[in-house]
Amino acid sequence: MYAATVGHTRHTFADLKALLAAATPLRSGDALAGVAAQSDEERVAARRVLADLPLATFLTEAVIPYETDEVTRLIIDTHDAAAFAPVASLTVGAFREWLLSDAADGAALAALAPGVTPEMAAAVAKLMRNQDLIAVARKIRVVTAFRTTIGLPGRLSVRIQPNHPTDDPAGIAASILDGLVMGCGDAVIGINPATDSIPQAMALLTLIDEVRQRYAIPTQSCVLTHVTNTLAAVERGAPVDLVFQSVAGTEAANRAFGIDLAVLKEGRDAALSLKRHTVGDNVMYFETGQGSALSADAHHGVDQQTCEARAYAVARAFRPLLVNTVVGFIGPEYLYDGKQIARAGLEDHFCGKLLGLPMGVDVCYTNHAEADQDDMDTLLTLLGVAGVTFIMGVPGADDVMLNYQSTSYHDALYLRAALGLRPAPEFARWLEGMGILDPGGRVRDLPPPRLRALLTPAEGAA
């Protein structure tokens, strides 16, 4: 039991997970789960207790039992005590101060990552303002590679997300080309298929691969289908670059996704066996998002931000090329409005980077959330300052298959221009060769005859 007296009121918290939940900035999902603080004062009282808690507590007290949850076992069994040593004697509050200090530079933070558990990252995030989350995250660069190198300083990569409600090849090709001529696609060209079948996934993989080879584009492809579908596609000879999977922070939530750690390992081994990577061997693409464990009724009373950080432990075990928190997709019962979405996006990006992951964010919202494009502009800009690894590129920000709003190719160009960022180096060279990127790093309008020549093969796909 944990307790704090504030003025004349004594606040008690039954256990570590109750304390973490009560300390979390207000969000609708924790209220829905019945774990949120009962008052604003109780929330700050919980933060005071948390601030005085030794970081090492998280190595001996699990929020979900070791015996019954393979994610907990992964976290504890892979913890690197030597990496943890520099902060082993700190409380959570002192850890926040150390992270903000000049002693915690990029090299120190990179060395620390294997010593940080998700619960430590989540706990310290709860004591941090948005500004702190940005200031620390921007010191951390996580570099990964497949055919392009992602995450280098001064770079911002973009996933082309060319979804179509019926997986129409010409429609998808049109959205891909729109992104390419706007300088996007260096993170991945990744399609969410409308229909969940192996032949469909294989057809889409072949479609992207043909576009990639026709224009000799240094990038990687992905069809965001279940890992078992991708395994079957590999067996049948499909051109699989990245293996995708949604992952969550509890064994039960992953079971609801139809996965466990063993099948993720199978997926990674299968992708590596194809040897399609050239620059580096990061072959996994994971997506996450606060609320997924609660949505699967598999949260064990743990708040949604802590569950989310635990998903990053799953992700980092497989050395992914990309990890994307789809922050506003889940809906207002988990993140109610633009303020809660922005906070969650910054928390996820910070926690992922602190744990050593190449974090991207799908800056997004649904039409029943209290949010609009202005909120997305704000979060996008904050994440750019925080050094986000990649963002989504959706034509006009309108995903016509998944029916939500993300960021557009235009948004990506805005962020690169505003902060002086460039695409991944291999991809930037290709853009220059194609005449899309000028020597100053600006995307230029192709002359209409050149654009027409680029688009014509896609018209033939119809």
Partner 1 sequence: MTRPPVADPWATLRAATRARIGLGRCGDGLPTAPLLDFQLAHARARDAVHTPFDAPAVAAALDGAEGVPAVVEVRSAAPDRATYLKRPDLGRRLAPESAARLTPGTPDIVFVIADGLSATAVHAHAAPTLTAVLARLAGWRIGPVVLAHQARVALGDAIGERLGAAMVAVLIGERPGLSAADSLGIYLTLDPRPGRSDAERNCLSNIHPPDGLGYDAAADTLVRLMHAARERGLTGVGLKDEGAALPKPQT
Instruction: By CB under 8 A, name the binding residues for partner 1.
Output: 28, 31-32, 162-166, 168, 170-175, 177-178, 182, 332-333, 336, 366-368, 372-373, 394-398, 400, 403-405, 408, 410, 413-414, 417, 443, 445, 448, 451-452, 455, 458-459, 462
The conformation of residue 321, written as its DSSP 8-state character, comes to S
Identity of the residue, 39 or 367, whose beta carbon is nearer to partner 1 in the bound complex: 367
Closest approach of Cβ 154 to partner 1, in Å? 18
Where are the strands (E) in 34-156, listed by range? 144-145, 149-150
Structural contact between residues 426 and 218, judged by C-beta atoms closer than 8 angstroms: yes
Measured from the CB atom, the residue of 144 and 161 that comes closer to partner 1 is 161
Nearer to partner 1, 12 or 366 (CB): 366
Which CB atom, from 146 or from 404, has the smaller least distance to partner 1? 404
In whole angstroms, how close is the CB of 90 to partner 1 at the nearest point? Answer: 37
Task: Work out how close the CB of 163 gets to partner 1 at its nearest, in angstroms, rounded to a whole number.
Answer: 8
Q: How far is the CB of 330 from partner 1 (least distance, A)?
A: 12
Residue length, the chain?
Answer: 462
Closest CA to 221 of 266, 263, 179: 179
Position 282: which residue type? N
Least distance from C-beta 168 to partner 1, angstroms? Answer: 6
By beta-carbon proximity to partner 1, the closer residue of 217 and 394 is 394
Nearest approach, Cβ of 164 to partner 1 (angstroms)?
Answer: 6
Task: Give the list of residues 6+ apart from residue 428 with CB closer than 8 angstroms, or none.
Answer: 186, 422, 437, 441
Backbone angles phi, psi at 422, to 5 degrees: -125, 165
Which secondary structure element, helix H or strand E, spans residue 325, and what is its range? strand 322-326
Q: How far is the CB of 98 from partner 1 (least distance, A)?
A: 37
Phi, psi of 286 (to 5 degrees): -110, 145
Query: Which parts of 135-213 are beta strand (E)?
Result: 144-145, 149-150, 157-160, 188-191
- Residue 276 or 414: which CB sits closer to partner 1? 414
Tell me the residue ranges of DSSP E strands in 50-184.
144-145, 149-150, 157-160
- CA distances, 406 to each of 108, 309, 440 (Å): 34, 22, 28
Q: Are 49 and 4 in contact (CB under 8 A)?
A: yes
Cβ-Cβ contacts under 8 Å for 439 (sequence gap 6 or more): 432
Kindly state the smallest distance separating residue 81's Cβ from partner 1, in Å: 42
Nearer to partner 1, 32 or 279 (CB): 32
**Distance from C-alpha of 363 to C-alpha of 398, rounded to nearest angstrom:** 12
For partner 1, which is the closer residue by CB, 125 or 369?
369
Are 428 and 437 in contact by the 8 Å Cβ rule? The answer is yes
